[in-house]
Amino acid sequence: MKSLTLIALFLAAAGPALSFAAKPNILFIAIDDQNDWVGHLGGHPMAKTPHLDQLAARGTTFLNAHCQSPLCNPSRTSLLLSLRPTTTGIYGLAPWFRALPEWKDRVTLPQYFADHGYRTAATGKIFHAGTGAPGAGAGKGKAKANTGAVAAPVRPEFQVTAPFGGVGTRPPQKLIPATPMGNNPLMDWGVWPLDNDDTGKGDYKVASWTVEQIKSAPKDQPFFIAAGFFLPHVPCYATQKWFDLYPDDDSVLPQVLKNDREDTPRFSWYLHWNLPEPRLNWVKANNQWRNLVRSYLASTSFVDAQVGRLLAALDEAGVAENTIVVVWSDHGWHLGEKGITGKNTLWDRSTKVPLIFAGPGVTVGQRCLQPAELLDLYPTLIDLTGVPARTDLEGLTLVPQLKDAAAKRDRPAITSHNQGNHGIRSERWRYIRYADGSEEFYDLKADPNEWANLAGRPQHAAVIAEHKKWLPKIDLPPAPNSASRVLTYDPTTDIASWEGKPVLRRDPIPE
Catalytic residues: 72, 128
Q: Which stretch binds Ca ion (CB under 5 A): 41-49, 240-248, 261-269, 360-368?
A: 261-269
Count of residues touching Ca ion (by CB under 5 A): 7
DSSP 316-358: HTT-GGGEEEEEEES---EESGGGBEES--SSHHHHEE-EEEE
Find the shortest distance in angstroms from Cβ 40 to Ca ion.
Answer: 21
Give the integer Cα–Cα distance in Å for 108 and 464.
35
Q: Give the Å distances, CA to CA, from 47 to 39, 253, 254, 424.
A: 5, 12, 11, 27
Q: Which of 54, 51, 58 is nearest to 308 (CA)?
A: 51
Out of 115, 330, 383, 440, the only residue in the binding site for Ca ion (CB under 5 A) is: 330
263/315 with CB nearer Ca ion: 263
DSSP 279-316: BHHHHHHTT-HHHHHHHHHHHHHHHHHHHHHHHHHHHH
Helices (H) and strands (E) in the chain, counts: 14, 22
Q: Are 372 and 66 in contact (CB under 8 A)?
A: yes
- Helix 202-216 with 289-316: angle, nearest 10 deg: 10
Out of 23, 32, 40, 417, the only residue in the binding site for Ca ion (CB under 5 A) is: 32
**Any contact of residue 337 with Ca ion (CB under 5 A)?**
no
**Any contact of residue 346 with Ca ion (CB under 5 A)?**
no
136/319 with CB nearer Ca ion: 136
Give the integer Cα–Cα distance in Å for 31 and 51.
14
Out of 30, 72, 382, 503, the only residue in the binding site for Ca ion (CB under 5 A) is: 72
Sign of the dihedral through C-alpha 304, 307, 29, 402 = positive
Out of 36, 260, 277, 475, the only residue in the binding site for Ca ion (CB under 5 A) is: 260
Out of 8, 27, 31, 33, the only residue in the binding site for Ca ion (CB under 5 A) is: 33
Which residues from 475-494 bind Ca ion, rule CB under 5 A?
A: none
Q: Which stretch binds Ca ion (CB under 5 A): 18-26, 243-251, 260-268, 430-438?
A: 260-268
Q: Are 80 and 378 in contact (CB under 8 A)?
A: yes
426/453 with CB nearer Ca ion: 453
Find the shortest distance in angstroms from Cβ 350 to Ca ion.
Answer: 11
Find the shortest distance in angstroms from Cβ 255 to Ca ion.
Answer: 13
**Any contact of residue 348 with Ca ion (CB under 5 A)?**
no
**Any contact of residue 277 with Ca ion (CB under 5 A)?**
no
Q: Are 139 and 203 in contact (CB under 8 A)?
A: no
Strand duo 65-66 + 372-373: pairing: parallel
5/449 with CB nearer Ca ion: 449
263/490 with CB nearer Ca ion: 263
Q: Are 123 and 164 in contact (CB under 8 A)?
A: yes
Out of 212, 263, 447, 490, the only residue in the binding site for Ca ion (CB under 5 A) is: 263
What is the CB neighbour count within 10 angstroms for residue 154?
Answer: 12
Find the shortest distance in angstroms from Cβ 29 to Ca ion.
Answer: 14
Q: Which stretch binds Ca ion (CB under 5 A): 72-80, 162-170, 313-321, 438-446?
A: 72-80
Q: Which stretch binds Ca ion (CB under 5 A): 35-43, 180-188, 243-251, 324-332?
A: 324-332
Q: Which stretch binds Ca ion (CB under 5 A): 98-106, 185-193, 257-265, 291-299?
A: 257-265
Q: Which helix (H) or strand (E) holds 399?
A: helix 399-403
263/494 with CB nearer Ca ion: 263
- Footprint of Ca ion on this chain (CB under 5 A)? 32-33, 72, 260, 263, 330, 451
